[in-house]
Structure formats: structure tokens, C-alpha cells
Structure 1
């Protein structure tokens, strides 16, 4: 018998255990992640009643691959443009919560006597909430349509990206052992620079590659390309000094902006599910029951910190962002749990050898407890607010709600915001590319020229000219490209108030471009040559060839924007996309009214189908307003009194959370019509003969009653060696006709036997 590697035995054991716990946890409606962790404990070294994994090293490698694909899939669901659409309320709420809970986690660890690294990683572990647990709880409690749920989803999106950055920061601190503020600022700056560079470069190149090869790509090829790109970015990220997880996330977020995003997510999902299961099982293998007992108090302390710390900080963040107090409390009580990222952060710390083994049981224990408390916290968020409203001074509650209304008005976007955003994007994108070109030129291109050309002046001149050719379009854009929007044009025409500030912005970016050129030249030439010869020549060249440089830059920009917006352009003109945009616009204006717009689908068996709106009287009974009806590819705006609703119509309802809560059960109610349930095996094709027993001669099909007596249909008649398929209901039966009927077997047989008798 051949030798079977331990890896295959271990993988079989892990997957079988994971499959069994998955079935059990689906049955009891609990998160699968906890099921995988329990499966890992059962096949781990601390449980001896079942077979145990033999080769932990191979499992750790598979688990690391699992983390990579988990982060890659997260990037596919993420998209940087989604982050930009989240809005200020969710962003402010998330940052307040993350800063508070991370700092609180660090100091809690220090108070418990933990090391600096253990305390830092504890703060990082607490920074994220569980998207899967929150969505499951929202579905079960039926609150996904409530206004605060949208803020929660926005906070989760921001948390994802911030926790990724925290992971990179923690790994850098762990490796360098540098805790100084300057070192951390340098690390963050370096990280943001590479994030921007990878995103810009990836969007410019990868969608173009996929578009050119579209006719050659099937599911198999797309899977190979996607995994290859993911692992390639993982290698690049680690070479630059960042974590593999960051590389996977970045590549996922780049592919998320392509038209193939959904297909990539579909073909890679089985790979993610497989290796993700192995990762969470490997987490369970690290659980030591003795350690959980030994560190029981830390588990309790971390759990309480999670529950009350996240509840408090998220609520405060939501209030600061301008949400009403009730909505802020509901957001805070929805976020009070530890997410799956806690295990990934802890795994990172263990792989770097900088944290203690007890952090895992502490994280698992706190995660398990907060998983079960989340639905109850969400359910009781309304009553808890009612309690706060009774306890807090009425003047304070009124001031908070007035602050909310004022903040919503301030957050409205004005022309200056639009213009400043445009200038910021121009300076940021082109500045990042120019910095990347400078770094490449100084660290790679010039050393290469040094080996080929001995004369320093010649070498520097060639290096500068070649670099300038590549840099000139981006240098021109940084210094001269103007925002292409109506807000800028309107402000430029208002000479009295806007021309001066706009001129200052123009001068500022010209100075930024000049400083970059000067820095570049000073690295290649002596100071005198740089100041009096090189810099003026470069600026003159850019001025003389402005039109050509501008045309070349516009081609580059057109390609980049085309790739960036390709996915949205495909969907932009669809009715669903237009409805989503209009809903978002209405949402922004409805916030001060404590109302929002909810899109609901008419169930097929609803008892109100076919009735006119005045007959339904929903506005009078429930206070809701029906704004539109989306029926297939048609949109009915402000339906009139004669409009009716049909199955599967999408209707837009404007209402408050309380109104929706009382109205939705009415909207979702259906009429249960009792009908005979027939098994498929009871359906039969049989025949009867027209004779003296059936008494059908001279009777039409319509008047024969065969349809009712057999619960079936007459599909054919054989007459004089001829066949009549699907005869008309006016057909008259004749002697010896053979009638073929599709219907209920027993009823047809009863009819035949009764006639024969």
C-alpha cells in the first residue's frame, strides 16, 4: 500500500470535522465561524477523544493561504469608490469608535499586566465588528430597512479598510520595535503612498488587460488569472515591506472596479470558502481549555469592554456625526461584538512571534459571548433609548436632536467643497505618480546608468531627459490642469468673491510642482547647475510643449477614467441604477425629517394586489407615502388614484422607522389559499373510450365535465385512425373515440372503472 502524506490525512480530518459542525450550526442558526473554531478544537492537540492533526506546520501554511483569500474576497466586496460613497456620518462614527476602542484595549491590557505588544494587538483585535453576525441578526429581527441599519453598514465598510491599515501598522511596529511617533508617521505615509500608487497603476493596467483578453477568458482562465494577480500582489507587498494580507486586499479592491468583479467573486468563492474554513479550524486548534479557565477573568473583562466600550464609543461617534440620539443608540448597540478580523490579527501576531498564546482563547471567548448577545442588544435598542429619554434631562435630549438637525444642514455639499475635492484629486493622483517616478529614477534608473556611462554630467543629463519624458504629462497636470466641473466654472466667473482664493490655489500647486522639479534636479546635478540651468530649462520645455503634453495626458486620463468607471458605466443607464441614485439623493434631503425611503417588493400572494390606492388608504392608516412603482423596465412616478399594485412590483415608500415597522407586516402579508397538493408521481397520461358506459357521445368537451372529474386536461382524441392534438373545447365526442387525458391518476382510474362497471 502506498504512503499517504500527513497533509492529506490532516486535510480530510479538518474538512470532515468542519462539515459536521457546519451542518449543526446551520441547524441551530449560529455563525459558521464559531462552528469551524469548535471543529478545530475537536481535532486539535488539546482534545484527545478524537483523532488529532499530525502535521501542524502544513496546516499553518494552508491557514495563511486562507487568510490571503479571505482578504482578497473582502477587497472584491469592498471597492475604494464604495468607501467614498459611505458618507461623512458613517466615517466619523467609525473613526470615533475605532480610536476609542483601540486605545481602551491597549490600556486595558496594560492594566492587566500584559506586555506592550499584547496590549497593542488586543486594541487591534477589538477594532472591528462582525459583518456576518450583524447581517444575520438584522435579517432575523427584520430591521434591515430601518434608517440606522444603513449607518451600521457604512461603519462596517470603513472598519474594514481601517483594520487593514492597523494590521500593517501593527506588523511594522512588531518587526521594527519602533514605537516613536516619527517612525509611525513615516510608516503610515509610506503605506498611504503605496496604496495610492498600487491603486492608480492597477486601475490603469488590469482592466485593460481583462478587456483585451475578454474573448479568450472563460471561468477557468479567469480563476487562474485572478489567483495569479492576487498572489503576485502578495509577493510585491511583502517585497516592499508590508504584509501579504494587504497585498491580497489591494488586488481584490482593484478587481472590484472592473466589469468582471462579480464574475471574479463567483469563480473564486469556492477557493475562499475552502481555505477560509481551514484557517478558522486552525484557530480552533489553538484553543486550550486550561488557558480559557486560567484567563477567565481577562475573557470577562475583554467581553465587558467590547460590549460597553463599543456601545458607548459608537453611540458618541454617531451623535458627533449628526445622527439623532435614538438612531445613535441603535447604531451603538448593533456594533457591540468582536469580528472575524480579531482572529486574523491574533494570527498575525503569533506568526511574527510577538504576542502571547493566551490572546487566542481570550479573543475566542469574548467573540463567542458577544455573538450571542448581539441579537438581544439590537432587539432592546429601542426600549433602551426610551429608558435613556426618561432618565436624561429633557433639555439635553432636545439639544442633541437640534445639533443633529443643524449638522445635517451643514453637511450639504457646496461649490467650494466640490472644487477643493477636485483640486485635491488632481494634486494627489499626479503627485503620487511623480513621487514614484522620482524614487524609481534615483534608486534604480540612475544606478543602471552609472554602470553604463562614466561621465557624471552626461549621465545626469540623460537621466533627467528620460525621466522628464515620462514625468512631463503628470507634472503638467499637477501644475496646470483645472477642475472639469460646473462648480469651478461658476466660481471663476464670480470675480469679486472667488477669483482671489482660486488664484492662491493655482499658485500653491505651481509651487508644489516647482519644488518637486527642484528636488529631482538637485539629486542629479550640483546646486548651481540645478538652480540656474536645469530647473529653468525644464519649466520652459513644459511651457513650450504644453499642448502636446496636455493631449498626451488627456489620453492617459481617458484610459484611466474609462477603466475606473467601466463597471458603473455598464450599470449607469439601467433603471435599477437610476432608482438607487435617486433614492440616495432623496435620503440626503430626508434625514432632517427623521424619514427615509425604503424599496419593497410586492409578494405574489398579497391580498392588496389589484386594489387601487384609495381603497388601500395606506397614507391615512399608516402615514406612509408611495413615491414610485417600478414594474419591470417601467417607472410609475407618483402613481395616481387609479393605480394598482401587481406581483413583484418594486415600490418606494417614504416613512419613519416606526411607520415602516407597523406598515411592513401589512405589506408582507399574503392570502393563503387552500388547494389540493398533488405529488408529481400522481400526474398521469391515460385514455378512456367513448362508449355506452362513458355516455359521452354527442357531448362537447366543454360540457362533458371531464376536466373537473379528472382534475386534468384533454390533450388528444384518436378517431378513425386519425389523431386530433389539443382539440377545441367545442369538439363533439363520437362513438369509439379514444380520449387522452393528462390529470390525476386516481381520478382517471376511478372514472374508467366506474364506467366499466
Structure 2
């Protein structure tokens, strides 16, 4: 009887997610807010709380985070990361300063303490790579001059996650400063070692993992990822970081084949993860934090636009491209929820989860709009503020050209 209830509940969840994803596709919209709302509906205080399948959903959510980071690592090679780190680190520092500090300040102003401040800093700092990539494709901007600048900032944020997540894990575990320093040292050492091995021996690793049989390739890569993620978590480094490093170590045809095989699994378990986060957020707890979430969303929308504008200007992009770069970076999504989810599981601040949910819901909706309309709106505002120049001087009739060289007196305005 218990298994029957489990199958009914989990089947209903998957079916509902599929229908929500189809609806989001028709509306040309990210499905993330719909998945979060579904979790709110089935969680504590929702319309229909789950029972038998909640434990399985929790495991699925953890696998979802691991697959999200694995697929992210597959997008980059070790040489890409090293190159971006060398050339674009000033943009990364500006991005961190403008977007992480408002989250930290908000947590301190709300009286949540330093640990919650570090967590909320990450929530407001990291843009959504998935949403932004989809927006760039939908708007046909993948070939634009500002797009490499946008992608460089996203790469730096993703690389920073390999350092940030172990710090968060140690803080939430309540370990001492010495143990936390050791954990961070292990994380940095592992990340550095993986980058070195991927640069020097990436082809050998990919050749070892490679297989012409999709079934064998899927089993080896998935098994290796879960194994490394588990070891990383045992070392207090973060399972997500372990998965990210596995993705970086794979390259070439193996990365492409793995991406094609795991994309459906990633989408399935990522959707389950967003539902799981919603399950642990009481809908009644969102209205009290809605105003702080809205203020934080407005502030960090402006700071992300400023970040993209500055980075594009530094790269020599024209003014229109600078505004487009800034507007595209606004969306927050999966990683903000991943970071907040760690804090919710640790139970450090009851209102942190609801605020992060409201914040992501706002910006995942606003993000595609700012990507589309920031540049036209900025152009219109700048045009309206430009003072009208003096009228052209009148040419006296005595010196006006005559004969066939003279301009006709016809007014040509509006005929262009």
C-alpha cells in the first residue's frame, strides 16, 4: 500500500512538472518559477502536502544539484577557465563587490547574523547560467560582440562556486575556524589539482571514460560523478564542487556525448530539486519577506546592469552592447536556490528560504525582460535628456548659391 501511494504521488509530481514545463515553453518563459510554485503548493502549509514520496524527492533533489554542476563543468575546459581567470578577473571582482555585498548587508540589517549574511551574499551574487543561455538563444544574440563578456562573467562566477560552496558548507556545519581553514585548503587544493590534471592529462581521462556504447558511457560518467561527489561531501568540500570538477576534467567528444545523454536526466532531477526547495518553504512565510525581497531585487538588478556595462566597456564594446550585457546578467535562478537550500537544510534562519524563494521568483521573471528592454529604454532616456542643439545659422540671400548648383527649396524632411 505504501509503495502504491509513493508511485501515485511521485507520478503526479513528474506529470505536473512536465505540464508546467510545456506551459513555460509556450509562454517562452523559464519554468523555474513554476516549479518553485509547485513545491509551495505541495509543501508545508500548501494545498496538498506530500507524504510517502518526500524522502525520495529529497534524494532526487540532491542528485539534481550534482547533475546541474556536472553539466556546467562540461561546458568549459580547464584552459577556458584558466584563460578567463587571467584576463577577466577584474570584472569578476566588480561583479562580486556590486552584487554580493547588497545581500550580505540585507542579512545584517535584518538581524540574521554573519553566517546568513555570507549565504545571502551568494544568493544575490550568482546569475543563472541556464536562464541567461536560453535568453541569449531566444533573442538571437549568441553572435553579438558583448556575448563573450557575458559568458566570461558567468564562467568566473561558476569557478568561484568551487571556492564559495566549501566555505558555506563549513560555516553551516558550525566547525571551528581552524577546521574551516583546513576544509577550504582541501577544496582549493583539490580544485587546483583537478585543473592541473585536466590541462595536462585531460585527453587521457576522456579516452579512459570514452565509449562508443551510449549505455556504457552513461553508466561510467554518472557513476564516477556520484562517487567523486560523495567523497567530496565526506571531506566537507561539497558534493556539487566534486561534480563540477568531474565535468571540467572531461573534454572533447566525451563531453559532447555526455552532455547529450545526461541533459534529460539533468532537467528531470533539477525540476525535482526546485520542487523540493518549495516543499520546505511555507507559503505563509513569504508575505512578511516580500518587501525586503523586492527591494533587494531592485537594488541587485541595478548592480548587475552596472556590472555588465562596466565589463563590456572595459572590453571596448559600444554603448548599445554595454546596456545589453548588463540587462542580460540580471536573472538569478538555480544556483541562488542551491545556496539557499544548503542554509534551509541546516536551519540557520527560518526566513532565509522564503526570502530567497521570493527573490528568485521576482528576478527569474524580470531577467528576460531586462535582457530585451534595457538597451532600448536606456537609449530613449538618454535621447530625452540630450539638450537640443542651437538652430543652424541662416544663410543670407545675397550669398546663397544660385544656378544649377543651388539646393532646391523643397523640404525633404520625412522622405528618408
The TM-score with structure 2 as length reference comes to 0.82
1:254-265 → structure 2 map (5 Å cutoff): 254-255=249-250, 257-265=251-259
Residues 563-611 of structure 1: per-residue CA shift (max 9 Å, x gap): xxxxxxxxxxxxxxxxxxxxxxxxxxxxxxxxxxxxxxxxxxxxxxxxx
Select 2:191's aligned residue among 190, 195, 201.
195
8 Å contact from structure 2 (residues 78, 198) kept in 1: no
Shift of 1:156: 1.4
Q: 1:35 and 1:260 mapped to 2: Cα distance?
A: 33
Q: Please state whether the residue corresponding to 1:68 is helix, strand or coil.
A: helix
CA distance in 2, matches of 1:202, 1:156: 20
CA contact (8 A) 1:92 1:320 kept: no
Distance between the aligned counterparts of 1:232 and 1:183, measured in 2? 24
Q: Residue 370 and residue 381 in structure 1: after superposition, are their counterparts in 2 closer, same or farther (change >3 A)?
A: same
Which has more radius of gyration?
1
Equivalent residue number for residue 111 of structure 1: 109
Where in structure 2 are there 5+ consecutive unaligned residues? 388-416
Contact 2:74 2:248 in 1 (8 A): yes
Report the RMSD for the aligned CA atoms in angstroms.
3.0
Instruction: Tell me which of the two structures has the higher relative contact order, counting C-alpha pairs closer than 8 angstroms and 6 or more residues apart.
Output: 2
Distance across 1 between alignment mates of 2:131 and 2:116: 26
Q: In 1, are the aligned partners of 2:218 and 2:261 still within 8 Å (CA)?
A: yes
Does residue 381 in structure 1 map to residue 381 in structure 2?
A: no
The one of 287, 293, 302 aligned to 1:299: 293
Whole-Å separation in 2 of the counterparts to 1:289 and 1:239: 33
Q: SS at the partner of 2:286?
A: helix
Q: What's 2:282 paired with? A: 288
Return the alpha-carbon distance in structure 1 between the equivalents of residues 208 and 288 of structure 2: 59
Partners of 1:235 and 1:333 lie apart in 2 by: 37
Summarize deviations over 1:162-217 as a string: whole Å, max 9, x none. Answer: 133211221123324556xx987765544222112234446767753653686x65
Q: 1:161 aligns with which of 159, 162, 174?
A: 159
- 2-structure distance, mates of 1:106, 1:392: 37
How do residues 297-696 of structure 1 correspond to structure 2 at under 5 angstroms?
Answer: 297-319=291-313, 323=317, 325-353=319-347, 355-378=348-371, 379-385=373-379, 387-388=381-382
- Measured against aligned partners, the alpha-carbon deviations of 1:213-267 in whole angstroms (never above 9, x if no partner) come to 86x6511111111111101211332233311111111111111x24311111222
* Cα offsets for 1:704-750 (capped at 9, x unmatched): xxxxxxxxxxxxxxxxxxxxxxxxxxxxxxxxxxxxxxxxxxxxxxx
What do the CA deviations read for 1:46-99 (whole angstroms, capped 9, x no partner)?
A: 222x46344433321221111111111111123222224448664432331123
Contact map agreement 1:310 1:332 (CA 8 A) in 2: yes
* Structure 2: distance between partners of 1:87 and 1:115: 32
Between the aligned partners of 1:239 and 1:184, the Cα distance in structure 2 is 14
Q: Which residue of 2 aligns with 1:247?
A: 242
CA contact (8 A) 1:43 1:53 kept: no
Describe the shift of the 1:356–1:10 C-alpha distance in structure 2 as closer, same or farther (beyond 3 A): farther
Distance 1:203 1:377, change over 3 A: closer
Residues 388 and 185 of structure 1, relative CA distance in 2, 3 Å threshold: farther
The 1-side partners of 2:209 and 2:282 are apart by 51
Q: Retained in 2: the 8 A contact 1:100–1:313?
A: yes
- Determine the C-alpha separation between the residues in 1 that align with 2:29 and 2:89: 29
Instruction: Provide the rounded CA distance (Å) in 1 between the counterparts of 2:260 and 2:80.
Output: 19
Once residues 94 and 183 of structure 2 are traced to their aligned partners in structure 1, the CA distance between those partners, rounded to angstroms, is: 22
Contact between 1:13 and 1:43, CA under 8 Å: does it hold in 2?
no
Kept in 1, the 8 Å contact 2:69–2:240? The answer is yes
> Is 1:86–1:154's contact at 8 Å kept on the other side of the alignment?
yes
Query: What residue in structure 1 maps to residue 125 of structure 2?
Result: 127
Partner Cα separation in structure 2 for residue 367 and residue 39 of structure 1 = 14
Post-superposition shift, 1:117? Answer: 1.7
Is the 8 Å Cα contact of residues 21 and 38 (structure 1) preserved in structure 2? Answer: no
Structure 1 residues 125 and 141: CA distance shift in structure 2, 3 A: same
Matched-pair contact (CA < 8 Å) for 2:78–2:199: no
Shift in CA distance, 368/326, structure 1 to aligned 2, threshold 3 Å: same
Say if 1:314 and 1:331, in contact at 8 Å, map to a contact too: yes
- 2: distance between equivalents of 1:212 and 1:248? 18
Q: Does the residue aligned with 1:301 lie in a helix, a strand or coil?
A: helix
SS at match of 1:380: helix
Name the structure where strand makes up a greater proportion of residues: 1
Distance (Å, rounded) in 1 between the aligned partners of 2:283 and 2:224:
40
* Alignment length (residue pairs): 386
Q: Residues 177 and 62 (structure 1 numbering): CA distance in 2 closer, same or farther, change over 3 Å?
A: same
Structure 2 distance, partners of 1:212, 1:30, is 39
Structure 2 partner of 1:266: 260
Aligned to 1:611: none
Q: Distance in 1 between matches of 2:166 and 2:316?
A: 31
Cα displacement (A) at 1:123: 0.3
Alpha-carbon distance in 1 for matches of 2:339, 2:36: 16
